[in-house]
């Protein structure tokens, strides 16, 4: 994705490689026997959670997190942001139906009760800055502390569970996060590779027990190694749409540049079908895979 390439074919090849790498990583994680989305043991969920309230997908008013003033040149204009949010909102009903089906017809066969939009208004969703990139005892210069994470308080969960006479509550949200991505391309006889945080729309589920204990999903932290350098990255949720691409200038400077708005909207409006979300959420490595397949 460098300026030296300039070819749409090469761009597609790069994207295909990135997707392939992500798919292999997910498969390796699955085959290792540990599903990182489980906070509690699957048996505890299967025996203790029968009926769950599934809240509507939450979108913060700051769906695009604010950036520090030093990064003013990296902000999206208002038209770009509004267009992305408007397109995404047209997909919420499809996403919510895929989630409901995955939970009710998957391995756990939950009895699903749909929550109401007003439940989120009453709940008072808590927001905090991401701490995913920091790990005690280890230091890294590669970080992006401006991602947001969301949660519900134990008191709120308990009230919602009591209201619907449920054993658990599923809180879910969409947010623009910066996710570390490996971007590779070739120009002539030279191959290039960069590793940088690129804006991606992520879907994040959180399943709580009725006392507010997080059982599944939520914030996860992982480490990737690229060219011998460790990167602590946001591992939670499913990456749905990339909003930035890695580029290299003629002077050799690595940049993250916005994807053209029509391209992003095409992914949301055209490519993001029901089948797309089923694969993203319930496929191997997907954020609901652990609750869908044994």
The answer to whether residue 2 sits within a structural domain is no
Contact yes or no for 172/150 (Cβ under 8 A):
no
Boundaries of domain holding 102? 8-292
Work out the number of other CB atoms within 10 angstroms of the CB of residue 123: 20
Q: What share of the chain is helix, strand, coil (3-state, %, to 5)?
A: 35, 30, 35
- Taking residues 69-96, report their average pLDDT: 90
Instruction: Determine the pLDDT at residue 130.
Output: 66
34: pLDDT strictly greater than 60: no
56: pLDDT strictly greater than 50: yes
The answer to whether residue 270 sits within a structural domain is yes
275: pLDDT strictly greater than 70: yes
Is the pLDDT higher at 143 or at 190? 190
Would the pTM count as exceeding 0.75? Answer: yes
The answer to whether residue 3 sits within a structural domain is no
Strand partners, 232: 223
The residue with tokens 């290299």 is 248
The answer to whether residue 1 sits within a structural domain is no
Strand partners, 257: 245
Can you tell me the distance from the alpha carbon of 44 to that of 188, in angstroms, rounded to the nearest whole number? 55
Strand partners, 65: none
Residue 38 DSSP code:
B
Is the pLDDT higher at 218 or at 53? 53
Instruction: Note the pLDDT tens digit of each residue in 277-288.
Output: 999 999 988 899
The answer to whether residue 217 sits within a structural domain is yes
Average pLDDT, the chain: 78
Instruction: Determine the pLDDT at residue 228.
Output: 63
Domains contained in the chain, number? 1
The answer to whether residue 261 sits within a structural domain is yes
Instruction: Determine the pLDDT at residue 233.
Output: 53
- Taking residues 224-243, report their average pLDDT: 68
Is the pLDDT higher at 40 or at 109? 109
Instruction: Determine the pLDDT at residue 144.
Output: 64
The answer to whether residue 278 sits within a structural domain is yes
Q: To the nearest 10°, the Cα dihedral for 245, 179, 206, 294? A: 90
The answer to whether residue 134 sits within a structural domain is yes
């Amino acid at each position: 994705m460098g300026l030296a390439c300039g070819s749409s074919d090469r761009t597609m090849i790069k994207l295909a490689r990135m997707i392939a790498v992500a798919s292999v990583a997910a498969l390796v994680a699955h085959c290792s026997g540990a599903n990182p989305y489980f906070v509690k043991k699957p048996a505890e969920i299967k025996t203790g959670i029968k009926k769950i309230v599934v809240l509507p997908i939450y979108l913060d008013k700051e769906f695009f997190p604010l950036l520090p003033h030093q990064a003013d040149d990296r902000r999206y204009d208002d038209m770009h942001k509004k267009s992305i949010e408007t397109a995404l909102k047209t997909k919420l009903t499809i996403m919510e139906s895929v989630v409901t089906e995955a939970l009710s017809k998957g391995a756990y066969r939950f009895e699903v009760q749909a929550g109401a939009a007003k439940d989120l208004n009453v709940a008072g969703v808590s927001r905090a800055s991401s701490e995913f990139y920091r790990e005690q005892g280890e230091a890294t210069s590669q970080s992006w502390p401006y991602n947001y994470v969301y949660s519900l308080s134990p008191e709120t969960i308990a009230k919602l569970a009591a209201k619907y006479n449920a054993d658990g509550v599923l809180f879910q949200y969409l947010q623009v996060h910066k996710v570390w991505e490996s971007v590779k391309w070739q120009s002539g006889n030279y191959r290039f590779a960069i590793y940088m945080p690129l804006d991606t729309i992520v879907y994040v589920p959180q399943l709580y027990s009725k006392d507010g204990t997080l059982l599944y999903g939520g914030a996860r932290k992982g480490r990737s190694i690229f060219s011998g350098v460790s990167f602590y990255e946001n591992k939670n949720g499913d990456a749905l749409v990339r909003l930035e691409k890695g580029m290299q200038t003629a002077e050799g400077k690595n940049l993250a540049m916005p994807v053209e708005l029509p391209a992003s909207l095409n992914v949301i409006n055209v490519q993001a079908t029901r089948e797309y979300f089923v694969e993203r959420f319930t496929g191997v490595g997907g954020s609901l895979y652990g609750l869908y397949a044994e």
